[in-house]
Amino acid sequence: MRCKKCGRKAVTNLRAYRIALCSDCYLDFYKRMVQRSIKKHKIFMEGDEILLAVSGGKDSSAMASVLSNLGYEFDMLYIDLGIGSYSEDSRKKVEELAGIIEKDLHIVELREYGFTIPEVKDRVCSVCGTAKRYIMNRFARENGFTVVATGHTAEDLVSFYLKNIAGGQREYAEKLLPRIEPFDAKLVAKARPLFEVSEKENMLYVIIKGLPFKNEECPFAPKPEWKEIVYDIELKKPGFVKNFVRGLVTEAKKPLETRHCSICGEISSGEICSFCKIRMRLSKK
Amino acid sequence: MRCKKCGRKAVTNLRAYRIALCSDCYLDFYKRMVQRSIKKHKIFMEGDEILLAVSGGKDSSAMASVLSNLGYEFDMLYIDLGIGSYSEDSRKKVEELAGIIEKDLHIVELREYGFTIPEVKDRVCSVCGTAKRYIMNRFARENGFTVVATGHTAEDLVSFYLKNIAGGQREYAEKLLPRIEPFDAKLVAKARPLFEVSEKENMLYVIIKGLPFKNEECPFAPKPEWKEIVYDIELKKPGFVKNFVRGLVTEAKKPLETRHCSICGEISSGEICSFCKIRMRLSKK
């Protein structure tokens, strides 16, 4: 398999884009993809003071590196959840990453608030989510940042969407946008610069770049049932995840002016309605 | 397995509802389910003149029978697409059904418009869809009906939705409602009284009732890829199809008034924010 751009040996075949690429061309492709996404969806704006929430995982590490390459100024925030060696290892990866990309890293420890995640008995993931959102927003605002960027991927958004619609929580599903502006002075904007990038693409990027990242899942993470449903659909319909997430953030086309067919008088979007066009093409009468 | 209502031998175990039922209790369950759906979503209204589009398949046969049992007045329309023995057999089933439920049946033959479906060379399903929508609407309006009801199921709506969002056609996806009012004098309303009923539930209903229906797929129908994706999700998450379709037709809850936590001053939906509640429960400080 050869790189479609330069002809060298390809390292990947992106089914969603039907393109094989070598490692250099892949890095270039990835960078352009993220840049286009940020521009098109106005994910970052003039005057933003950006704080990147990083976990040590492949997605946020890829985000930090590519944004740095694209010339964005930002600081990073790591929230230490106190999950034993999992948190310690993740923290080391993030510190290493900060050194490589030469960005300031802030660390907030959940234990400063009097508890750690392993002490939570019920609904651990829900409590952890609340804690992270609270700390990200408060730290950002108190330290002069105007937007918090997270490494949510296309798979994250699609699986949240399906889960929340099926769970009757359309109000959560509708928050799945590339950027959300604050509706209160206590809030900062939220940005998801990787919202149309897949996990596999992030993984490939961090591996080719040789970036530090922690590959294990959190020991408290449940079986990712909705994610697996999304992976299954992608297997059957390559490109589904990207297409679906793009479809979600695209506004519905305005209906065309109502017209009436000049032949039959029925409703039509043009001079002649679709049915009369078919009839003219096929009718033997 | 025993019927949960009367204790007799059950004929089905509805995973989405976690209930086993005997045949009599199933028919009663099905009828109530459709009635509740029609009431809740205002699918039919006072003064409606209803035309049922029937195909001879299980879904529209179940719709005609249950609406008749529920006391609705309606006529039926069968569109003969001219697909050889497939259309002839389907027509016989519909004629038989009309005799059983004692309703008037109208038949429009596509060949009256100068062609039949087997003569269509390209995009057969798209042409067929355009033809059926055109004929249903025009026949209904010209004959004094105010609403056309179709037997679309929950699986139909969910698979259309996923396909259209992934296809970047949000404007089609947003039309997937239990009832759509006309926006032009040339249009009649569209109703989908089975929008939250599953195909399996319709199948069981027509079998128990001994209703005539044609079980074969149209010979021109492509592999139902999106439907199979929906069946797969339902297998993994019993109840998904119904929950998702209900989620789609449910409006988002309005955000609560913005308040600020009386402890920390951060944004909150109540007197005390979620994070401070967690802290009070867990903090050792």
Q: What is the pLDDT of residue B283?
A: 83
Q: What is the pLDDT of residue A72?
A: 98
Nearest residue on chain B to A141, alpha-carbon basis = B266
pTM: predicted TM-score of the whole model, two decimal places: 0.92
Contact of A30 with A66, CB cutoff 8 Å: yes
Provide the b/e sequence for B32-52 (b: ≥16 CB within 10 Å).
ebbbebbeebebbeeebebbb
Dist. CA B7–CA B19, nearest whole Å: 12
Q: Chain B: nearest CA to A283, how far in angstroms?
A: 4
A6 is in an annotated binding site: yes
Query: Strand pairing of A179-180 and A259-260?
Result: unpaired
pLDDT above 70 coverage of chain A, percent: 99
CATH superfamily assigned to domain B32-210+223-248: HUPs (3.40.50.620)
Tokens standing for A142? 């108190």
Domain ranges in chain A are: 32-210+223-248
Q: List the 221-280 stretch of A: residues with Cβ below 8 A of B.
A: 225, 228-229, 232-233, 236-237, 240, 243-244, 246-248, 250-253, 255, 258, 260, 265-267, 273-275, 278-279
Residue B169: alpha-carbon gap to chain centroid? 20
Q: What is the mean pLDDT of residues A94-123?
A: 96
What is the DSSP-derived secondary structure letter of residue B10?
Answer: -
Q: Which residue in the set A228, A229, A247 is minimally distant from B168, CB to CB? A: A247
Please list the residues that pair with A108 across neighbouring strands: A79
Residue B56's nearest CA partner among B81, B73, B34 is B81
Please list the residues that pair with A50 across neighbouring strands: A74, A147
Tens digits of per-residue pLDDT, B180-212? Answer: 999 999 999 999 999 999 999 999 999 999 999
With beta carbons under 8 A apart, name residues in chain B contacting A109: none
Dist. CA A65–CA A98, nearest whole Å: 9
> ipTM above 0.95?
no
Contact of B262 with A180, CB cutoff 8 Å: no
Contact of A31 with A208, CB cutoff 8 Å: no
Contact of A180 with A189, CB cutoff 8 Å: yes
With beta carbons under 8 A apart, name residues in chain B contacting A161: none
> How confident is the prediction along chain B (285 residues), in pLDDT tens digits per residue?
899 999 999 999 988 888 999 999 999 999 999 999 999 999 999 999 999 999 999 999 999 999 999 999 999 999 999 999 999 999 999 999 999 999 999 999 999 999 999 999 889 999 999 999 999 999 999 999 999 999 999 999 999 999 999 999 988 888 889 999 999 999 999 999 999 999 999 999 999 999 999 999 899 988 889 999 999 999 999 999 999 999 999 887 887 788 999 999 999 989 999 999 999 999 865
Residue A146, SS3 per DSSP: coil
Dist. CA A156–CA A176, nearest whole Å: 10
Tens digits of per-residue pLDDT, A26-63? Answer: 999 999 999 999 999 999 999 999 999 999 999 999 99
Tens digits of per-residue pLDDT, A223-254? Answer: 889 999 999 999 999 999 999 999 999 887 88
Sign of CA dihedral B166, B167, B171, B173: negative
The mean pLDDT value of chain A amounts to: 94
Dist. CA A243–CA B227, nearest whole Å: 18
Chain B interface mutation, best of A110, A111, A115, highest count of B Cβ atoms under 10 Å: A115
Q: What is the pLDDT of residue B285?
A: 54
Q: What is the pLDDT of residue B284?
A: 66
With beta carbons under 8 A apart, name residues in chain B contacting A284: 114-115
Q: What is the pLDDT of residue A174?
A: 84
A276 is in an annotated binding site: yes
Q: What is the pLDDT of residue A171?
A: 87
Q: What is the pLDDT of residue A285?
A: 54
